Structures are given as structure tokens and as C-alpha cells.
């Protein structure tokens, strides 16, 4: 048993931060939180080692619910064209390189290291169609000791020949991945049809059946750009909407993550609501590819769960703090564009999306409550002046400052299920 002392700040709900200046988090030997305390009144036992982080902030670690590991080498470059051109010009050629296991090892090693550096302890990851490289990615997460849902991508139409797989290859790749990770406590397989334009009806149907039979989560892309949506209408004329294509094949579930949703129709929203599908908002990506502003407040008001993703390499940075900041900023632009009739997102709302809600896809992760796995960051953030004598307000300001203006060197420690980095 260990007790970590620091300025605790987290979001048990999306409404507000819970702030405990100089509080203690008691963590058992399996990395699970036994209790959260405002004083050391519990610490009578000699068996409890107290680790004191002094005046630093102690927050839950970040969860990235949408990221493409094989696009890591393209991070921060090649944003001059919108989605469909970007895929063909930059992204597919880069992903095709992952047929080479040595190249995969180089890039995937850097990717996992950078996730840890940025304070992201769990991620829902797209790999590629290549099974050996995808198994290697699972190994790298396991060896590092952080958590992931890893997707062997299914894609069999409208894509380069060297980046397509057959339906049976996609199915057996995911099966192998599931088998390969069965003794990796923090790493799992996630069924991953790339998006409707690159998946035949047979591919979508087979992957839905597999997810259902093996009780696996699902991830894909939804309503990212107008041209993509138009194309989906042409490809699947029977469907009532983009989400309805996924729904018809059985891919919208309580365990489904759909990235983007920038242009949902009323039918899309009703289907997401009905099926309990989670949307992953990727605001940096939506800016970089000129995709648009996702109507997040409207989705939240409809009761649709919304988490956050970096979507590297359409997103330009793995830092979920940058993604949070971007989510607030684009929501303010959206508010301005609608005469301020739509409320922008608050800091606790986006923090909750990146911690407790995002974490819920990985078990009891993302909050400082008894029974939650201890995924945490120790952040050295100070402000040059203080706007308040009130300790709670001061800590809020220090976190706000870090979200907007922090850098990775201020993250002085990271924990994933109690394991320290
Ligand atoms: N839609 C299909 N594939 C992709 C991808 O790799 N990135 C993004 N942003 N959207 C996609
Ligand atoms: Fe994506």
C-alpha cells in the first residue's frame, strides 16, 4: 500500500472539478485506489509508504480515444488538402510501409514512447491491415506497461491494392490479435472497419458479426467531411444516413467509438442515441483537414457520450491537453457563429471527456475514486500571479494554465495502474 500526497484535481462528473489541496490517494499493491483523503488521518499503519509530491498537481492521466499509430511519422506535416485527397496523397502511402516489420518497429516504438511522454496512459489505436506489425504494436504497449485497444484495420475497396485486405484476412488478423493479447492485462483487440468508403458490405457485415460473437469493442469514422458523406450516399443508396450504414450491419453498439461526427443528420443523431454509441471528438484534426466544427453541444444535449481523440496524424500532436484546449476553442467559434446561442465547452467538461469518460472504455479508469485504477500525472504547474486567496481557485487556475500553456517537461511523473514512469 502507498499513499500519494499532492494537490488533487479531477472530474467525478462533467460539471465541476473536485479539488483537494494537499490530499492523499491510497493505492493498493495491484494499482487500484483504496481511498481518497483530505488529511493523513488514515496513515497510522507503518505499512503505508507516503510519497509526497509537495505543491505539485496530481491529476488523472489522459486517455486518447482515437489515434492512428502508423501515421506517427506524418505528425505535424502534410495538411494542405482535405480528407479524401489527404488519405490518397499522404496517409495510404505511409501506412503501406508497415508491411515492413523493421519500419513498423522503428515508428511504433517512437509512437508508444511519445504517448507516455505526453501523459496518455490508454489509447484506442488504429494500426494497419498488416497483422505482424499489429501484433508487434501490441507487444510494445505491453512491454511499456500502458493500456490500449488495438485495431487491425479492415479495408477492401477504394484503396490502393497494397493497403487492402480480404474479409477473411481482417477476421483472422483480429482473432490472432485477440489470442496474442490474452495474457496482456492492459492490451486488447478492437474491431476496426476503416470507414464506409473503404469497406465492402461483406467486410462491414463480417466485422460486425465478429465483434458480436467475441464481445469486442468497435471503432471507425463517421461523418467527417461533406464529400465523404456524399460518397457514402452513392455507395450505400438504401441507407437513410451515414450512421444508418453502420447500424444496418450491426456496428453501432454501447461499445462502439465513432470518430468525428462533424455533420450528423437528425437520423444519425437518433441512431447514435438509440444504440448508445460514443462519439470521439477530434477538434485539432477537424481544423487541420478543414473538416468543420462538430456540433458537440447538440450531441451532448441529445445524451450522446462524447470523448476526445488526437487523431494523429490529421491531428498534429499527441498531447490530449492540446486537444482539450482545441475543443474549447472550436466550441467558442461555434458559439460565435451562432450568435452565442450555443454554449461553448467548459474546462471541466473537456477534462472529463479526456479522463473519466474516455477512461470508462478501459475499465474503471480516469477518476480518483475507490476502485479506480491509479492512472495519474504529477504536474509542476505554477502561475506567475494568483487571482485568488482561495486554495481551490488557485489550483483550478494552475490546471487551466497548464492546459493552455503547459509543456511536457512539466509532467514530472506518470502512473498507469500504479506503475510509475
Ligand atoms: N477516415 C478514414 N481514414 C481516416 C484517417 O486515417 N484519418 C482520418 N482523420 N479520417 C479517416
Ligand atoms: Fe482517424
Mean pLDDT by 10 residues, the chain (421 residues): 97 98 97 94 78 97 99 98 98 98 98 98 99 98 98 98 98 98 98 98 98 98 98 98 98 98 98 98 98 98 98 98 98 98 98 98 98 98 80 94 96 98 95
> What's the CA gap between 396 and 52, in Å, rounded?
20
Q: What is the pLDDT of residue 150?
A: 98
Q: What is the pLDDT of residue 235?
A: 98
Q: Whose CA is nearest to atom 5 of ligand 1?
A: 87
Q: What is the pLDDT of residue 43?
A: 62
Q: What is the pLDDT of residue 44?
A: 62
Q: Which ligand is nearest to the CA of 280?
A: 2
Q: What is the pLDDT of residue 382?
A: 81
- Measured in Å, residue 221 CA sits from the centre of ligand 1 at 7
> What's the CA gap between 367 and 33, in Å, rounded?
10
- Measured in Å, residue 87 CA sits from the centre of ligand 1 at 7
Pick the atom of ligand 1 nearest to 197's CA.
2
Ranges of H-type helices in 157-265? 167-180, 201-214, 226-235, 242-249
Strand partners, 315: 312
251, 238 contact by CB (below 8 A): no
Q: What is the pLDDT of residue 153?
A: 98
- Measured in Å, residue 81 CA sits from the centre of ligand 2 at 15
Q: What is the pLDDT of residue 339?
A: 97
Pick the atom of ligand 1 nearest to 221's CA.
1
Task: Spell out the residues 6+ positions from residue 367 whose beta carbon is closer than 8 angstroms to its own.
Answer: 10, 11, 12, 60, 355, 356, 359
How many angstroms separate the Cα of 274 from the Cα of each of 213, 304, 358? 21, 9, 20
Pick the atom of ligand 1 nearest to 291's CA.
9
Q: What is the pLDDT of residue 389?
A: 86
Name all residues whose Cβ lies below 6 A of ligand 1. Answer: 68, 83, 87, 91, 194-195, 221, 224, 285, 311, 314
Amino acid at each position: 500500500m502507498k499513499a500519494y500526497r499532492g494537490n488533487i484535481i479531477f472530474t467525478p462528473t462533467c460539471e465541476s472539478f473536485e479539488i483537494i489541496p494537499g490530499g492523499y490517494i491510497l493505492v493498493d499493491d495491484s494499482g487500484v485506489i483504496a481511498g481518497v483523503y483530505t488529511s493523513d488521518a488514515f496513515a497510522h499503519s507503518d505499512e503505508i509508504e507516503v510519497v509526497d509530491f509537495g505543491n505539485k498537481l496530481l491529476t488523472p492521466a489522459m486517455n486518447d480515444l482515437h489515434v492512428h499509430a502508423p501515421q506517427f511519422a506524418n505528425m505535424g506535416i502534410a495538411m494542405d488538402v482535405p480528407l479524401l485527397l489527404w488519405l490518397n496523397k499522404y496517409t495510404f502511402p505511409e501506412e503501406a510501409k508497415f508491411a515492413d516489420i523493421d519500419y513498423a518497429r522503428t515508428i511504433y516504438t517512437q509512437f508508444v514512447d511519445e504517448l507516455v511522454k505526453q501523459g496518455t496512459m490508454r489509447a484506442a489505436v488504429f494500426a494497419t491491415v498488416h497483422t505482424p506489425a499489429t501484433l508487434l504494436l501490441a507487444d510494445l504497449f505491453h512491454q511499456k506497461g500502458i493500456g490500449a485497444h488495438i485495431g487491425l484495420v479492415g479495408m477492401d475497396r477504394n484503396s490502393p491494392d497494397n493497403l487492402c485486405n480480404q474479409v477473411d484476412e481482417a477476421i483472422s488478423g483480429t482473432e490472432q490479435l485477440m489470442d496474442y493479447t490474452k495474457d496482456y492485462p492492459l492490451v486488447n483487440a478492437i474491431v476496426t472497419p476503416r470507414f464506409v468508403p473503404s469497406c465492402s458490405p461483406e467486410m462491414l457485415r463480417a466485422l460486425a458479426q465478429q465483434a458480436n460473437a467475441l464481445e469486442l469493442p468497435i471503432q471507425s469514422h463517421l461523418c467527417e467531411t461533406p464529400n465523404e458523406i456524399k460518397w457514402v450516399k452513392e455507395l450505400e443508396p438504401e441507407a437513410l444516413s451515414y450512421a444508418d450504414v453502420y447500424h444496418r450491419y450491426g456496428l453501432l453498439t454501447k461499445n462502439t467509438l465513432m470518430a468525428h461526427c462533424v455533420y450528423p443528420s437528425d437520423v444519425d443523431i437518433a441512431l447514435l442515441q438509440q444504440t448508445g454509441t460514443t462519439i470521439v471528438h477530434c477538434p485539432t484534426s477537424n481544423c487541420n483537414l478543414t473538416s468543420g466544427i462538430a456540433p458537440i453541444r447538440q450531441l451532448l444535449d441529445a445524451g450522446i457520450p462524447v470523448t476526445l481523440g488526437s487523431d494523429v496524424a490529421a491531428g498534429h500532436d499527441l498531447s490530449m491537453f492540446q486537444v482539450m484546449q482545441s475543443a474549447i476553442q472550436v466550441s467558442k467559434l461555434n458559439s460565435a457563429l451562432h450568435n452565442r446561442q450555443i454554449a461553448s465547452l467548459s474546462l471541466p467538461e473537456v477534462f472529463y471527456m479526456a479522463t473519466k469518460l474516455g477512461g470508462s472504455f478501459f475499465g474503471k479508469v480516469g477518476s480518483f475514486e475507490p476502485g479506480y485504477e491509479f492512472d495519474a500525472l504529477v504536474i509542476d504547474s505554477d502561475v506567475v500571479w494568483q487571482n485568488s486567496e482561495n486554495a481551490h481557485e488557485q489550483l483550478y487556475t494552475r490546471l487551466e494554465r497548464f492546459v493552455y500553456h503547459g509543456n511536457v517537461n512539466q509532467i514530472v511523473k506518470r502512473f498507469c495502474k500504479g506503475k510509475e514512469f
